[in-house]
Amino acid sequence: MSIMIPYLLVNVLQIGAYAVCMLYLTGELALQKKHPWSAGISFFIMYCLAIIIQFYDNEWIVIGLFLILSLYFLFIYFNTSKSISQCLNVVICGYLIETVCQVFFIVLYNLLHIPCDSSGYDDPASLSIVVFGCLVLIPVLRFLPVRKWMNNLENVSYSSSLVLIVILLIISALSLRYNELSLGLLMPTIASIAIFSFLGALIIMQSLADQRRKQAISDYETYMPILNDMIQNIQKQQHLYNNQLASLIHLSDSYHDYDSLSHALKSYSNFAENAVDTESYSFLHIENKLLASLFYCKFHEAKSAGMKMIVKVNDYRYHSPCSDTEIVDIVGILLDNALEASHENDNIYVTLGKRSGSNSPFFITVENPGPLVTGKFVHDIFSPRYTSKKEFTGHGLGLNVLKSFVDKYHGSITVGNNYIDTADHAGQQQQYIFFEIEI
């Protein structure tokens, strides 16, 4: 009994030091003051389970250590906002830091030939090692940039945590292979293997979810300027329309007889001519709002260059195995190529959506004035670094990237020529090149 009391007290100090060190590494140690009861209860449960494990782990020291690390992991996970992978890294690093503090005194005692029982806390020397190790932990955390190191470690990919999990699984399995297989060893070993396997599965799921979040953020940063540009253009147009409407409303204040008012209205006929053609903006109803905003921006880009982009939408709610951002990438490449290949007064024709009589979930055709399509031409335009521009201002990768998207989803690309009547010269036809994508 006289030995048990200091043993339990020193265990409280040791387990508490490990817990405080780990919480300090998370940067959320001060937050525990807001929830003292939950932190205290979880620490008490962890302490009781750790004592039970230490009492019965003489035959399975390694597995006992793994189970105690699992307790620390659960303690950190439920008392902080850290992710599963981050909690695992914090537990391992925190345990190593406190252990190194104690190892320093173990080595010192051996150099001074002070006997101590390394298997327990049955003698004053062993107890003092724990006490001194906890005291040294204070300046270590205070003066060394351990939290900065921990922050750098948190930025490491999930692969580091998965490698650690695999190592722990291998060690657990080896303890079954090279130790006497008894029920007392089998149960905790299987428990540790199950825990690490479960943690590994959770980390993989977390990494996939994190990857999706990163992709969403990347998409947001890439396409938000397009949305902002569309909003600004709409606001400018709305401002102009408001001024024009206000002028029409107040015409009656300036002209009091029918003839002068009629003449004034005719002079404003250019208002109707310059008004927005609602059919040309039908693409704004596309369910993929990123794609709608892309069309809006490219439509005005063509208009500012003296070209006309005519968009026909057959299906506003198309379905495709591609993600919305991949569809935007595909359409963006086609429209950019068409704009670069066209000149002032040229027309660009775009048809979007499911083609009539086709089972293909997504279909788009982009037509613009272009050269004669030959086998060599098709081969060249889909080759990396190829460009037909005289001034090589791009990378020549657009159509090659487009082909990789289509191949990824086993779609098809058709390139050919059409001949369209020109508005300026009746009876004459202009040669167009078209790209059809079905995915």
Give the pLDDT score at 104. 81
Measured in whole angstroms, how far is the alpha carbon of residue 209 from the centre of its chain?
A: 8
In this prediction, residues 408-417 reach a mean pLDDT of 90
> Strands 429-438 and 412-421, how do they pair?
antiparallel
Q: Which residue has the higher pLDDT, 183 or 165?
A: 165
- pLDDT class for 369, splitting at 50, 70, 90? very high
Long-range contacts of 160-164 (CB under 8 A, 24+ apart): 160/89, 161/85, 161/88, 161/89, 161/203, 162/200, 162/203, 162/204, 164/88, 164/89, 164/92
Nearest of 188, 167, 165 to residue 60 by alpha carbon = 188
pLDDT tens digits, 284-336: 888 887 888 888 888 888 988 999 999 988 888 877 888 888 888 899 899 99
Whether 88 shows a pLDDT value over 70: the answer reads: yes
- pLDDT class for 394, splitting at 50, 70, 90? very low
In this prediction, residues 215-239 reach a mean pLDDT of 70
Give the pLDDT score at 109. 79
Lowest-confidence pick of 259-263, 264-268, 377-381, 390-394 = 390-394
In this prediction, residues 405-415 reach a mean pLDDT of 89
pLDDT tens digits, 18-45: 888 888 888 888 888 777 888 889 889 9
- pLDDT class for 150, splitting at 50, 70, 90? confident
Whether 86 shows a pLDDT value over 60: the answer reads: yes
Interatomic CA distance for residues 269 and 272, integer angstroms: 6
Distances (CA, A) of 378 to 386, 390, 406: 11, 18, 15
Give the pLDDT score at 98. 82
Name residue 173's amino acid.
Answer: A
What's the pTM value of the predicted model, to 2 decimals? 0.49
In this prediction, residues 148-162 reach a mean pLDDT of 68
Whether 189 shows a pLDDT value over 70: the answer reads: no
Lowest-confidence pick of 113-117, 370-374, 408-412 = 113-117
Q: Which residue has the higher pLDDT, 11 or 172?
A: 11
Percentage above 90 pLDDT, the chain: 9
Domains of the chain: 4-216 (no CATH), 279-438 (3.30.565.10)
- pLDDT class for 392, splitting at 50, 70, 90? very low
Distances (CA, A) of 304 to 117, 122, 309: 85, 87, 11
In this prediction, residues 253-280 reach a mean pLDDT of 62
Whether 402 shows a pLDDT value over 80: the answer reads: yes
Give the pLDDT score at 57. 64
Whether 82 shows a pLDDT value over 50: the answer reads: yes
Interatomic CA distance for residues 376 and 4, integer angstroms: 88
Whether 186 shows a pLDDT value over 50: the answer reads: yes
> Strands 308-313 and 363-369, how do they pair?
unpaired
In this prediction, residues 250-279 reach a mean pLDDT of 62
In this prediction, residues 112-120 reach a mean pLDDT of 65
Query: Using CA atoms in the order 187, 190, 196, 198, what is the torsion angle rounded to 10 degrees?
Result: -100
